[in-house]
């Protein structure tokens, strides 16, 4: 249940062997979905530059480098691929703000509880949702993210998954998250002429069931979504509902 396999292909994106082979063939940096310049307003709004940040599924992306250039002081990057980690560790050995470790996000027991102020996930949960035992893998990863966050900490999920396929995972009762949702057009998207535009810098409305209202229309129907999940310390996750106009 709650897997969005229609968005996946035949590759097992949860398998280290797949990613090792891919990074051997594609050594050039690649950022999934969005570059930092597009995500910066949301990152800066919700994650202070002094935060201790964990970047899960870092791959060979430039996101962490861009954040350091923007003033972020401490980013731990983890990935299941030893090839990617070795590549990035060598590339950034001169940048003390960045650290790299080979790690499966479903088991981050190396880190003690409440180690981080923020966890950023750009496509990693999506990858697990395309792997075997997707709901179990997602639950394990999200449980680890929740464990590692300090009270008041932020889990920022950047994903193609709309609320129908992501909220059931994020609002489980064992997570104590308040959730705010944003939608951002794909890079290069051109809004059709004559259509009124919504500001993607403001939260999108969500119904009491955690979904988009039936009459809410995104500028880009294939927008990427940004779920900002704040750890509250309460026993049940809550969705923050912007007013529906």
pLDDT tier for residue 1 given thresholds of 50, 70 and 90: very low
Q: Return d(Cα 228, Cα 10) in angstroms, integer.
A: 30
Q: Which has the higher per-residue pLDDT, 2 or 199? A: 199
Mean pLDDT for all residues in the chain: 86
Strand-by-strand arrangement of the 177-184 sheet: 98-102, 74-79, 52-56, 116-122, 149-159, 224-231, 177-184, 238-239
State pLDDT tens for residues 9-44: 545 666 666 666 666 677 666 677 899 999 999 999
Model confidence at 199: pLDDT above 90: no
**Three state DSSP letters for 38-94:** HHHHHHHHHCCCCCEEEEECCCCCCHHHHHHHCCCCEEEEEECCHHHHHHHHHHCCC
Nearest to 79 by CA among 14, 160, 149: 14
State residue 176's pLDDT score.
87
State pLDDT tens for residues 125-137: 998 998 778 899 9
State pLDDT tens for residues 58-67: 998 999 999 9
pLDDT tier for residue 105 given thresholds of 50, 70 and 90: very high
pTM given for the model: 0.88
Domains of the chain as residue ranges with CATH: 29-188+201-231 (3.40.50.150)
Q: Which has the higher per-residue pLDDT, 217 or 229? A: 229
């Amino acid at each position: 249940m709650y897997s969005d396999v229609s968005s996946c292909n035949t590759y097992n994106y949860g398998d280290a062997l797949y990613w090792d082979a891919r990074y051997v063939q594609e050594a050039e940096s690649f950022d999934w979905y969005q570059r930092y310049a597009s995500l910066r307003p949301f990152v800066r709004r919700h994650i202070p530059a002094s935060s201790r940040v964990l970047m899960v599924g870092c791959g060979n992306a430039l996101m962490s480098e861009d954040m350091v250039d923007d003033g972020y002081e401490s980013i731990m990057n983890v990935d299941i691929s030893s090839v990617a980690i070795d590549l990035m560790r060598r590339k950034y050995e001169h940048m003390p703000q960045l650290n790299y470790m080979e790690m499966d996000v479903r088991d981050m027991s190396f880190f003690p509880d409440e180690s981080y102020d923020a966890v950023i996930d750009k496509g990693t949960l999506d990858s697990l949702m395309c792997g075997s035992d997707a709901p179990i893998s997602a639950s394990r990863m999200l449980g680890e993210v929740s464990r590692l966050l300090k009270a008041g900490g932020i889990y920022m999920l950047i994903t193609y998954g709309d609320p129908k396929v992501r909220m059931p995972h994020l609002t489980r009762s064992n997570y104590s998250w308040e959730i705010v949702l944003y939608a951002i057009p794909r890079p290069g998207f051109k809004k059709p002429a004559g259509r009124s535009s919504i500001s993607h810098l403001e939260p999108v409305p969500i119904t009491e069931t955690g979904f988009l209202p039936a009459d809410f229309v995104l500028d880009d129907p294939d927008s990427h979504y940004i779920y900002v999940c704040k750890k509250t310390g309460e026993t049940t996750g809550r969705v923050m509902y912007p007013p529906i106009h």
